[in-house]
Every structure is written in structure tokens, then in C-alpha cells.
Chain A
Amino acid sequence: MTADAPRPPAPAHRLPLRWRVMDRIEAVAAALWPAAFRRATPWAFLAPALLLVGILLIGLGYVISDSLHELNPATYRLREEYSLGNYAAFLDRPVYLLVLWRSLLAAVLVTAITLVFAFPYAYVMVRTRSGALRKLLLVSLFLPFFIGQVVRAYGWLIILGKQGLINQALEGLGLPAATLIYTYPAVIFGLVQYMLPFAVLMLAPALTAIHEEVELASESLGADWLRTFRHIVIPMAKPGLVGASVVVFTLTLTDFAMPEILGGGTNDFIASTIYDMFFQLSNPGLASALAAVLVAVGSLIVALVFRVAGTGTLGLRSGS
């Protein structure tokens, strides 16, 4: 604009330091990135992120490439020639299908249970008039979210374990000890507790978007709260429900820590199987093939949900 206009000789010594520094920075920036490059600025801003995510893609390339080579049991190295043998191995071994089924069933159960309990929590959190209560509900949500999965699973071990608090209490009452840990329900329970904060945080913005007047209108027309929920609140919260289900479903399907710690090796999910193939069977080809199957199954299901129910709050929108 006026950058090229002749300036009066500026009394540089009197300008504040900050101005002089900024002028210098602007000059350097203009030299390094002239106005002609302006159109490429967004790409320059994006480049570091694109490169960073590129690391993941290159690694994924290695996984897919390894999945196409079978293990040579004589040398414990992958064979040179390409084959689909690793993928065929899954169909021969029912145990892998069992693990896949167990993980999928858990994902469905955990999603359903989590949503049923997350919805009222999010609703009360959004609708309450008490700031203190809202804060309490938020903090109770963020604390476990920020503590991490391993520590939380450890907390459940203390409570549910063989010599855990519940069994100590049963013993104190003269009752026989119960097997609470290393069972499928324990894994499901641990996962539900793990997923609750995710689900509530996905639901809350969708509920905030529903004006309370709509509910009041429904009730003034004679609907009780159950009908209002069923016909007004839940349909209007659908974007949040879809978003929360997809997140909870995929995180559960691919979870490792809860089935390992609360399942104790008796209730492995796909992730544990992949890990064991890698480090116990030392078969990177087979592990990579299962990893590829997991990515495919997960993406397929998510795409299906998006096709049927829309993208919900996970939908992409650019700009404001």
C-alpha cells in the first residue's frame, strides 16, 4: 500500500524499540515471503501438519507391504515373494474370527450402554441452572478423562480383583468370593467407564444447540417428558448421538488396555491379538494383515453409519 511511498526521514532513535523490532521483522518476512506468494500462504501454513501426518501414512505403507509377505518359519524372516497367504490364514483359523466377533460385540454393547448413560448426564449438565453443579459434572468428567486408561484400569483392579475390596467385603460377611475380574462383563464395564467422558463431551454441544423453548412447547401441548424426549430431544440431538456412537464404537473395537488388564488375557480383542502376533509369534506379516483388516472393518462400519445416519457432529464443514 504505502510501503513504497517515500517516507520522511524517520528519527529512528526516538521510535520505541518494539516498533523498530516489528519493522525489521516485517522487512524480513516481506523478503522471505513476498506478496506474490500470498496465495500459497495457506499451503505454507498447512505444510507442517501434512508432513507430520505423512509419517503415519508412510508407516501404514510398511504395514500393508509386510502384510503381503508370508513368514518363512525356517529363517523367521518374511519371504521375498508377494502373497495373500496371511489374509487366507484368518479364514482357516476360527480363533481369529472369534476374536473379531468378540471385539465387534463389545463395541456394540459398550456403545449402547455408554449412550444410555451419557445422554442424561449431558442433558443435566447442559440444562441445569446451577453453575456449581455444572462445574462439578464437568470436573467429574475431565478428571478420569485426563487420568488415562491404565491408571483407571488399575483402580478397578483394586476394587474388583481377586483380593479386591469387593471380595474382602464378601469375605467379611462370610460369603464366598466372586469372580469379578478377568471376565467379559468386567471388560465391558471398564470400557463403558472409559468411554463415558468421550460420549458426554460429544453429546453436550448437540444438546446445547436445542433450545429449551422447544421442550417447553412440547410439554405445554400436553406431552409428558418421556414423549418429549422421544419425539423432540433425541431426534434433535441425533448429530451428537451419531458422533458419539462412531467415536465410542471405533475406540472400543480397537482398544487394548482394558481387555488386557481387566480381561487378563482371557478376553483378548483384536488389538491384543495383533500385539501377540508381533511380539509372541514374531510374525509381522500376519500381524500386519490383521492390522489392515482392522482398518478396513472399522472404516467400512463408520462409512456405513455415515451413509445411513449422516455424519453428525463429525461432519466436515469449512469456515464458520
Chain B
Amino acid sequence: MRSARGKAWVLWSMVILVLVTLALPTLVIIGASFTSGDIIRFPPEGLSLRWYRALWDLGGFRAALGRTAYVSALCTLIAIPVGTLAALALARRRMRFARTIQVYLLLPFTIPLVVSGISMMMLFGEARVLGQLWPVGVALCLINLPFMIWAVSSAVNALDPELENAAMNCGAPPVTVFLTVTLPAVMPGVITGALLMFILAFNEFLVSLFLTDSRTVTLPVQIYNSIRNVITPDLAAVSVVYIVVALAAIWVLDRLVGLEIFLKSK
């Protein structure tokens, strides 16, 4: 137990337990989606793609998927300039009230999502935009904005300010410095942040539950509303959409910036 072998044994058994716990729902959903029976059994009654076909015929899910993609894209498009500029200002310039501003910008994390959901439902209702789709995109951008700022900030902190000074010394005017030195240097952070924003908006549930109705329902809310006591494989087929999108996001993230970026100490 106290030997090096004991250490490996203890650590590894815990890691394997966590790995199994993390992977199990995903694996089960994938398996269930290919069943040919009407209910989910193990071993499956047979393999088929009938639930994917049924899904495609269900207009409701397709429309919800489209709305989710729209909302996530809108959220990402707002977050990229807003978060990048804020992170640049926060990390590079010595500002007055810097601490206060940081606490303020972390409010989306410190205010519970259920409260954010109610708050924005009330505000959007008052502003008569509740029931439209674009405010959902704005709301999802707002609640996850600290992720974007965090991702860009860590890239800004890794950039040597002397590079910008050197560019200016060589006569580059401000916009040129920004576009040719600053922006390329923080690009890995922008990409990481944008991917996080998209994927988190894509599976955001609670705030969307407050802000959508039957005409603007997004996919996570639709799945939640469809969960019944009897578990049918059609929801498993929808869920596979999420698994595929998540895998794609991980692949892109790994290719462009490397997942190891999340292990770096500040």
C-alpha cells in the first residue's frame, strides 16, 4: 500500500473508476441509438438505423437542431469581439478599478444560472423581445462570457509586450500593430474561447428553458421535455448528435491549439 507499487495501484484503480463513470453514459447512448427494438434492451434485439430515420422524419427535432445551431453561432459571433477586446484591455493595460471590473465581469459565473434565467426572462419580457430567438443567443453569450475572456487572457499573458513596442518602433501605426502582431499572437486563445462558447451554447439547458417557448425551443430543452418514464431509443439518436458535435469540437481544439493547453499552470 505504501510502496511505489501500492501508489500505482491506488491511483490507477481510482482513475479507471473515473474513466468508466465518465464514459458510461456516452457509450450506452451510442449503443441504444442503433437498436432495432422499440425499447432499449441489453443485449440489443438487433442493429438498425431506424431511430435515426424516425428522427429525420420528426420535424420538431430537426427545427430545434437548426435553432440551436443558430443560437450557438450568434453567441460565438458576439463573444469573439466582445471577449477578445475585454481580455486585451484587462490583461495589458494598467487600469484604475481593474479589480472591480474583474469582479463585475465574473458576475455571469457568480450569479446562479437559474437566477440569470429568471432575470433575463423578466428583462426580455419587459423589453418585449421574449419569444424571439436572437435574445437567447445574446443570453447564452452573456452567461459564458468569462470563459471567452479567460481563454484570451491566458494567451495575452503569454505575449511579450516588447513585440508590440518593437513593431511601433519600426513605424507601424496602431491598427497595423493590432492586426499583425497582437491579434495573431492571441489567436490560439480566441480559437479556444470561440470553440468553448459554441459548444457550451450548443448544450446550454437551464437559461434556454426560461427563455424559449414551444416555437423557439432549442434542442437541449426539447430533449428534456421529451424525457418520459418509458425510455425510447429516439432520444438516444438525438443525443448521438451531441456526441458527434462534441467529438468534432475536441478534434478541432486539439488540432488547432492542443488539449494540453488546459494543463498549463498560469
- A residues neighboring B (CB under 8 Å): 1-3, 22, 25-26, 29-30, 41-43, 45-46, 48-50, 52-53, 55-60, 62-63, 66, 117-118, 120-121, 123-126, 134-135, 137-144, 146-159, 161-165, 168-169, 192-193, 196-197, 201, 204-206, 208-209, 224-226, 250, 253-254, 256-257, 260-261, 270-271, 274-275, 278, 284, 287-288, 291, 294-295, 298-299, 302, 313, 316, 318-320
Chain B residues with Cβ below 8 Å from A205 are 262-266
Please pick, from B86, B111, B203, B265, the residue contacting A147 in the complex, using a CB distance under 8 A: B203
Known A-B contacts A146-B246, A319-B94; A57 and B107 likewise in contact (beta carbons under 8 Å): yes
Q: List 9 A-B contacts (CB under 8 A).
A: A46-B89, A48-B81, A117-B14, A261-B224, A284-B122, A287-B118, A291-B114, A316-B102, A318-B94
- B residues neighboring A (CB under 8 Å): 1-4, 6-7, 10-12, 14-15, 17-19, 21-26, 28-29, 32, 39-42, 78, 81-83, 85-86, 88-95, 98-99, 101-105, 107-108, 110-116, 118-123, 126, 138-139, 141-143, 145, 149, 157-158, 171, 173-176, 179, 199, 202-206, 209, 220, 223-224, 227, 229-231, 235-236, 239, 242-243, 245-247, 249-250, 253-254, 259-260, 262-266
CA distance A278 to B115 in the complex (A): 12
A135 touches B227 (CB 8 A): no
B246 touches A42 (CB 8 A): no
CA distance A319 to B102 in the complex (A): 12
Q: A56-B119, A121-B18 are in contact. List 5 more A-B contacts (CB 8 A).
A: A48-B82, A62-B119, A151-B25, A196-B18, A271-B113
Please pick, from B86, B123, B243, B254, the residue contacting A45 in the complex, using a CB distance under 8 A: B86
A138 touches B259 (CB 8 A): yes
Please pick, from B95, B105, B235, B239, the residue contacting A49 in the complex, using a CB distance under 8 A: B105
B28 touches A45 (CB 8 A): no
CA distance A150 to B225 in the complex (A): 10
Closest beta carbon of chain A to B42's beta carbon, Å: 5
B157 touches A154 (CB 8 A): no
Chain A residues with Cβ below 8 Å from B145 are 49, 52-53
B14 touches A45 (CB 8 A): no
CA distance A153 to B12 in the complex (A): 26
B91 touches A319 (CB 8 A): yes
Closest beta carbon of chain B to A224's beta carbon, Å: 4
Chain B residues with Cβ below 8 Å from A3 are 173
CA distance A144 to B21 in the complex (A): 10
Chain B residues with Cβ below 8 Å from A146 are 199, 203, 245-246, 249-250
Known A-B contacts A62-B123, A254-B113; A288 and B118 likewise in contact (beta carbons under 8 Å): yes
Chain A residues with Cβ below 8 Å from B6 are 225
Interface hub of A52, A140, A254 (most chain B Cβ within 10 A): A52
B235 touches A168 (CB 8 A): no
B259 touches A56 (CB 8 A): no
Please pick, from A1, A41, A165, A270, the residue contacting B28 in the complex, using a CB distance under 8 A: A165
